[in-house]
Structure 1
Amino acid sequence: MSLQTALDKRQNNFDLLRLCAALAVMVGHSFWIQPHHGRVEPILQHTGLEYSGSLAVYTFFFLSGMLVSSSFERQTNVIRFAALRLTRIYPALIVCVALTAFVIYPALADSGLASTLFGHDAIEYFAKNTWLFSGVQWTLPGIFETAPIKSVVNGSLWTLPLELECYLLVLISGAFGCLHSRARMIIFAVIASVAFAYLLAHGSSFGPLQALTNKPTGYSFYPAPFFLLGMVLYVFRSHVKTNWGVLIVLFVAYAVFRKSSIAAPFFYVTFVYLLLALAMTPSLHSLVPKHDYSYGVYLWAFPVQQIVATRYPEMDNLVSLAIAVPATVVIAALSWHVVERPCIRFAHSRFGRPRTNTTIHDGSTRSN
């Protein structure tokens, strides 16, 4: 099966991969949120490069590069594309940040209900984390003060400004016709890669650009190049196919060179190829979830895990997941059915239909 078939006929496992990635973020974060007797996250311990959380974020961005490009190609105009993308990100985010700032924070903060509910800290937290374009605010005073990651309310939000910037890449490339021209896409990818390398080498005083080169603890690489790679593969989708034999060879090559200086390239190539193979494996189709809870899981996981870690500080981090994961999935289900899906349907009705009747789930961003 080619990537084009997987995209055009929805014979893919993208929703399943996104849900698994959101849950993997929870597993990875648990080793920092609730460290247990010096236990090290196993993927980081084995590779020395990445951990489950960083690989999950790369997965989101890689899939988004392909699927948001597909979304742009299917829209009737730029306004519709932008409206659908913003509608997919913001309603659930606004609800999450509002409930965090004005319900969870007053309920759990040490300083009391009145001072937190009517103080400027909650308002500032809400304003900055719903604007996004000036970065995100991770902390609030007086909450999670005894947690290993002190005062951090939602450490996962840092990827959202970066995701919006990556949407601009799709918008720019689409405006110049790169999404239906392989030659133009190659030129665009080279220019974008050179610009990214320049930012890495020289930095930037412009806040939004700083997000592109942000690399938190546990990361050895950056999410944005994975998004760009997804865009490139979308343009070459008719030629993109996977073979499990090739994947085995890549795994063996990585194992052979794991201790060498060239281990990293083998690792990332193998990782991307594995994602493509899993995305197009027919035997996994039956496991694809009916509803897309991945964004809700991603938004709510960190505060839920912080609450569990604060209430049960001595609990094993893997045991704590038995509490945090079900609670987060329930909240994510409410987010999908009460907020996300109604807003998606409203956006479709308000901004008209796409230029084709093909329905494709499109991006980090879960379904369009």
Structure 2
Amino acid sequence: MSRGLDNFPNRHNSLNAIRLGLATAVIVSHSWPIGGYGDDPQLGQLTLGRLAVAGFFAISGWLITQSRESTPLPSYLWRRFLRIYPGFLASLIVVAFVFAPVGSALDAGSWAFSDGVAFVGKNLAVHMSQFNVGATPSGVPYPGNWNSSLWTLFYEVLCYLLIGLCITAVPGRWLATVVVTLWLGATALQVGTNLGGTVAVFLELAPYFLAGATLYVLRQWIPLHWSLGLVSAVITTIMIAVGAAPALAALPLAYLMLWLGAALPLHLVGRRNDISYGMYVYAFPVQQLLVLAGAGAWSVGWFVLASTACTVPLAVASWFLIERPAQRYRRAADNLWAARRITSSR
């Protein structure tokens, strides 16, 4: 495969299949602490779950930058909202009013309707500030947390806003320079500083997103070839194995994700029905409920299989009942934007 990244197969690629695999890797990683088997599998300074999240962000950097370049800012923001928020809100409601009361019945912990309302209300802004619902979940190896996975969505939204505003504010001829500078700056800050709080977490994830964005804005000059895919895999593996700062592996990891997306013959997986997001937002509560039902007594292998199998129906329901129907409203912002442009031109 010797074509360049500017000829990346946008319609026939395996990125959705890779994202589904990454979501499954998060399930595998979380199985250890949730099931009481020990800490997440560790790969250098990254757990398996964090490495999967890094892959998610790298792929998003490429796709979201592409989307913003071809879509006016209002439409872009509306489409990002529809892709993230309806499924997120639905997951909060399901956890608050289905998982939590069932969990309360299983472990005799306290739950009230007002607890569910409080949980949903405090997390409406995507930034997760409360993970428990009332006194649930309790009696589990990982208590007081129904859905730890959702914390990453806030930082993904920040990345959406960053690239969206960047493309709005920066002239086209300077865009590549600015995006590369942002990637280098975020990497340098992550490696060379010891900041705390929200900024530190953002800097932990932003280099991966910005690496994907960097590959997109430089796509005309970067070949898409198996040899570079192999080199990227080797560099990523070495960086992780020697315990280097994770952000240093962001660019080779992003290239590896794209090369696999072009090379793997899995383009039919998730092409029409992408359940990877649903797998990501529902796996953690499913695993907590399985432990409450006694699945923690099984081997970790069986627990992983059960967790995956029980999450799939919820992910499918999320796609068909929430996520895909929400996409029908994507053109609303397009039509409004077009109407405003016509009005302003008169």
TM range (shorter): 0.7 to 0.9
**Secondary structure of the structure 1 residue equivalent to 2:46:** coil
Structure 1 residues 342-353: aligned runs within 5 Å: 342-349=325-332, 351-352=334-335
Query: How far apart, in 2, do the equivalents of 1:34 and 1:289 lie?
Result: 33
Question: Residue 233 in 1 paired to residue 212 in 2?
Answer: no
Query: How far apart, in 2, do the equivalents of 1:91 and 1:257 lie?
Result: 37
CA 1:168 to 1:269, structure 2 compared with 1: closer, same or farther past 3 Å? Answer: closer
Query: How far apart, in 2, do the equivalents of 1:248 and 1:160 lie?
Result: 30
Query: How far apart, in 2, do the equivalents of 1:83 and 1:72 lie?
Result: 11
Percent identical among aligned pairs is 28
Q: Match for residue 86 of structure 1?
A: 81
- How far residue 31 of structure 1 moved from its aligned partner, in angstroms, is 1.5
CA 1:277 to 1:131, structure 2 compared with 1: closer, same or farther past 3 Å? Answer: same
Query: How far apart, in 1, do the equivalents of 2:236 and 2:156 lie?
Result: 30
Query: How far apart, in 2, do the equivalents of 1:60 and 1:5 lie?
Result: 21
CA 1:166 to 1:288, structure 2 compared with 1: closer, same or farther past 3 Å? Answer: same
Query: How far apart, in 2, do the equivalents of 1:231 and 1:284 lie?
Result: 23
Query: How far apart, in 1, do the equivalents of 2:243 and 2:77 lie?
Result: 42
Q: How many equivalent pairs are there?
A: 334
Question: Residue 65 in 1 paired to residue 51 in 2?
Answer: no
**Secondary structure of the structure 1 residue equivalent to 2:137:** coil
Per-residue CA distance 1:39-87 (angstroms, 9 max, x = gap): 862xx2xx42222211111111111111111111222x32111111111
Q: State whether residues 5 and 219 of structure 2, in contact with CA within 8 Å, keep that contact through their aligned partners in structure 1.
A: yes
**Secondary structure of the structure 2 residue equivalent to 1:285:** coil
CA 1:296 to 1:212, structure 2 compared with 1: closer, same or farther past 3 Å? Answer: farther
- How far residue 117 of structure 1 moved from its aligned partner, in angstroms, is 3.2
CA 1:247 to 1:126, structure 2 compared with 1: closer, same or farther past 3 Å? Answer: same
Query: How far apart, in 2, do the equivalents of 1:256 and 1:80 lie?
Result: 41
- How far residue 241 of structure 1 moved from its aligned partner, in angstroms, is 2.5
Per-residue CA distance 1:112-150 (angstroms, 9 max, x = gap): 99973333x3222101222225x4322234223121111
Structure 1 residues 134-213: aligned runs within 5 Å: 135-177=128-170, 180-181=172-173, 183-191=174-182, 193-194=184-185, 201=193, 203=195, 210-213=197-200
Query: How far apart, in 2, do the equivalents of 1:248 and 1:236 lie?
Result: 20
- How far residue 349 of structure 1 moved from its aligned partner, in angstroms, is 4.7
Q: Match for residue 343 of structure 2?
A: none
Tell me the amino acid that sits aligned with residue 126 of structure 1: V
CA 1:80 to 1:51, structure 2 compared with 1: closer, same or farther past 3 Å? Answer: same
Tell me the amino acid that sits aligned with residue 300 of structure 2: N
Query: How far apart, in 2, do the equivalents of 1:80 and 1:264 lie?
Result: 34
Q: State whether residues 110 and 142 of structure 1, in contact with CA within 8 Å, keep that contact through their aligned partners in structure 2.
A: no
- How far residue 107 of structure 1 moved from its aligned partner, in angstroms, is 2.6
**Secondary structure of the structure 1 residue equivalent to 2:284:** helix
- How far residue 256 of structure 1 moved from its aligned partner, in angstroms, is 7.3
Query: How far apart, in 1, do the equivalents of 2:308 and 2:207 lie?
Result: 29
Query: How far apart, in 2, do the equivalents of 1:111 and 1:265 lie?
Result: 42
Aligned residue among 286, 289, 296 for 1:307: 289
Query: How far apart, in 2, do the equivalents of 1:114 and 1:253 lie?
Result: 48
Q: Match for residue 122 of structure 2?
A: 128
Tell me the amino acid that sits aligned with residue 119 of structure 2: Y
- How far residue 344 of structure 1 moved from its aligned partner, in angstroms, is 0.6
Q: State whether residues 301 and 324 of structure 1, in contact with CA within 8 Å, keep that contact through their aligned partners in structure 2.
A: yes
CA 1:253 to 1:305, structure 2 compared with 1: closer, same or farther past 3 Å? Answer: closer
Tell me the amino acid that sits aligned with residue 230 of structure 1: G
Query: How far apart, in 1, do the equivalents of 2:327 and 2:272 lie?
Result: 16
Q: Match for residue 14 of structure 1?
A: 15
- How far residue 102 of structure 1 moved from its aligned partner, in angstroms, is 1.8
CA RMSD after TM alignment:
3.3
- Under a length normalisation based on structure 1, what TM-score does the superposition of the two structures give? 0.79
Query: How far apart, in 1, do the equivalents of 2:133 and 2:60 lie?
Result: 31
